[in-house]
Amino acid sequence: MKASSAVSFALALLLLALVGIPLAQDKSALAAGDPVWWNDSWGYRKELTFNNCGQSENLTNFPVLVKLTTSNFNYSHCRNDGGDIRFVDADNSTLLKYHFEKWTYNGDSWIWVKVPQIDGGSATDHVWLYYGNSGATGIEDEVNTYDANFMAVWHLKETTGGSGAIKDSTANGNDGTDSGSPGLGVTGKIGNAIDFDGTDDSVTIPDSDSLDLANGLTIEAWIYIYTWVDWEDIVFKGGGAADNSDYQFALVSTGLMWDGTLAGAWRTKYFDTTTDTGEWIYVVVTHDTTTVKCYRAGSQIGSQSDAGNIYESTYQLGISQEGAVASGYIDGKIDEVRISDIARSADWIKAQYLSMTDAFIAFGLEQVPLPLISGWGWCLAYKEVGDVTLDLAGSMIPRANAPEVVDLHLVGTLNFSIPGRTDTFELELLGTRVRSLFFLKQVEGGADPLIAEFEGFWLVENNYIACEGRLAITIPNHAAQPYAFVLRTGGVDVPSREPGGWVEDIEFIIQKGALALDRVGDRLAQGGAVIKDLLGTVLTAAAVIVREVRKLGEAYIP
Ligand SMILES: [Ca+2]
Ligand SMILES: [Ca+2]
Ligand SMILES: [Ca+2]
Ligand SMILES: [Ca+2]
């Protein structure tokens, strides 16, 4: 980083801190009492926050699609095989079931994760993605990624066909067999898909009790149609006649249709919608033995009365085929066909659509654990303030593409014992190391609150953390003045702990920091009026910072 950009960055950080914009995205993990880190053997984590604002329903045991790319994930921090990927619930304790649909190191990866509950109407419910443990092996649990109402889940990801080759991800084992030589392993909506030629390509699945859905159903699929033709079947189970067909979800010239057998007759229901070709469309039909509903792109496009149980036959199920009949072939690609034995709700379907279109998850910044959570010591250079103890907990967030710069976001308590009174403060520190280092936080406490301004520099090494800076305390009968101080980790073996060596380290940082702060001070002076408004009484003069920082090398007394 060039000096000028470092100065600008330092100034930017200063201003961000002063106007109260958080530097780190992670707040929930840092609230007092929260578990801070799930497992010390893992070196990194990200918060995955769900945008379930638009759905009022609590979504339980909900399969969420997590798509990792080189834009939202640093693959160099995890194993090549993804074996150290873990998903942990918001409690930072409960491991979640997951499985890879496709893992591509340094590419696009699709992972299905079962989330116990995503709160309705929430924009803050979240889970954690942990990674960075070279000794870990994968704990994928494919069948348990899906709730008990899923009767079949076909990712259609296979690159090789054959008898039973098209795998069902659920415990029901409804594996399919391709015929007609469809295109396997083609680019799908989610990982791979299957390309059907509209002539004779299909996948068929034998009849099974799990595919008999008398009491209701949901059929989902992503379709990418080349030519939209009447009576081409997305899913059809049955013998193909009015008296022997279970359920059918098909293309018609006006859109989509549902059908099946009821008392020896067809129960056809049409749903008018666009018949767009050349794009991926998420289509869903639900039936609760009373009403059949159809959805497109996550939104309901129709609802029709259709009382009666779903027919149960002994015929096979066809994807791109009219059940047991050699007909109904789709001319297009199909991906992610899923069948449930209940009618999924509108909220559930909408959230699934959002999840599968990268519109459901916000990826937080990569975080690393703080090397030491407790055991902090301190050394106050000027002993006038009184006794001070400090306990901190928090996390560090490395900046992407700048590993030498580490953001800090810490919370803790600061206890002052000054003649006549004792005050305890809640403390929040935001900061960075190296030349862009800066943090500041106003704290207060007690019946007649003290105001402490806390600013300084972090020096983070492999086995210790030192903090140095200035603390200005305004109390009655006590002139506000800056106190230089040094905080450092306690109870650890610090190689450079010898006063001379450590001071040298500190001085090195101070020199770089002071240079940056000189410039910050200049800039503050130039923009005095505006900035003063922002600062209020927090910072009375940036020059004080610079001056005091320069004293630190001398002021430090081990
Ligand atoms: Ca939750
Ligand atoms: Ca797929
Ligand atoms: Ca063919
Ligand atoms: Ca059956």
Ligand closest in space to the Cα of 311: 4
Q: Is the predicted pLDDT of residue 272 greater than 90, yes or no?
A: yes
Sign of the torsion angle spanned by Cα atoms 518, 521, 525, 527? positive
Which of 11-25, 262-276, 390-404 has the least mean pLDDT?
Answer: 11-25
Identify which has the larger pLDDT, 463 or 334: 334
Return all residues near 169 (Cβ < 8 A) that are at least 6 apart: 99, 112, 142, 143, 145, 146, 153, 154, 155
Q: What percent of the chain has pLDDT over 70?
A: 59
Q: Which of 66-70, 224-228, 457-461, 534-538 has the lowest mean pLDDT?
A: 534-538
Distance (Å, whole) CA 427 – CA 121: 31
Whether the pLDDT of residue 505 is over 60: the answer is no
What's the 186 CA to ligand 3 centre distance in angstroms?
15
pTM of the model: 0.69
Task: Kindly state the average pLDDT of the residues 523-536.
Answer: 39
Res 475 pLDDT > 70: no
Cα–ligand 2 centroid distance for 212 (angstroms): 24
Mean pLDDT for all residues in the chain: 74
| pLDDT above 90 for 451 | no
427-446 mean pLDDT: 42
* Distance between CA atoms of residues 172 and 161, nearest Å: 20
Neighbours of ion ligand 1 (CB under 5 A): 117, 125
Closest ligand to Cα 62: 1
- Report whether pLDDT(42) > 90: yes
Quick: pLDDT tens for 45-77: 999 999 999 999 999 999 999 999 999 999 999
- Nearest listed ligand to the Cα of residue 157: 2
Ligand in closest contact with the CA of 196? 3
Ligand 3: centre distance to CA 330 (Å): 11
Amino acid identity of residue 46, one-letter, is K
Residue 262: both structure tokens together: 């009821």
Does pLDDT of 508 surpass 80?
no
Residue 273 has φ and ψ, to the nearest 5°, of -160, 175
Is 207 within 8 Å of 195 (Cβ atoms)? no
**Amino acid 125: pLDDT:** 96
Cβ burial of 237 (10 Å; 0-12, 13-18, 19+) is: buried
Q: Which ligand is nearest to the CA of 155?
A: 2
Query: Ligand 4 (ion): which residues have CB within 5 A?
Result: 207, 212
Ion ligand 2: residues, CB within 5 A, are: 155, 157, 188, 190-191, 335
Give the three-class secondary structure for 553. Answer: helix
Q: What distance in angstroms lies between residue 356's CA and the mean position of ligand 3's atoms?
A: 29
Distance CA 320, CA 332 (A): 9
Taking the centre of ligand 1 as the mean of its atom positions, its distance from the CA of residue 425, in whole angstroms, is 31
How far, in Å, is the centroid of ligand 2 from the Cα of 19?
46
Q: What is the pLDDT of residue 112?
A: 98
| Ligand located closest to 201 CA | 3
199 Cα: distance to centroid of ligand 3 (angstroms): 6
Length of the chain: 558
Helix axes 499-526, 542-555, angle to 10 degrees: 170
Compute, in angstroms, the gap from residue 329 CA to the centroid of ligand 3. 10
Q: Is 278 exposed, middle or buried (0-12, 13-18, 19+ CB in 10 A)?
A: exposed
Which CATH number is 150-341 given? 2.60.120.200
State the average pLDDT over residues 295-301: 98
Cβ atoms of 259 and 268 closer than 8 Å: yes
**Model pLDDT for residues 406-434, shown as the tens digit of each residue:** 455 555 555 555 555 555 555 555 544 43
How far is the centre of ligand 1, averaged over its atoms, from the C-alpha of 21 (Å)?
A: 26
Question: What residue segments make up the domains of the chain, in order of their start?
Answer: 3-20+370-555, 37-146, 150-341
Q: How far from 452 is each of 392, 483, 537, 548, CA to CA, in Å?
A: 16, 11, 11, 16
Q: 171-198: per-residue pLDDT in tens?
A: 999 999 999 999 999 999 999 999 999 9
Out of 5-9, 314-318, 443-447, least confident range: 5-9
Query: Would the pLDDT of 281 be above 80?
Result: yes
Model confidence pLDDT, tens digit, residues 149-165? 999 999 999 999 999 99
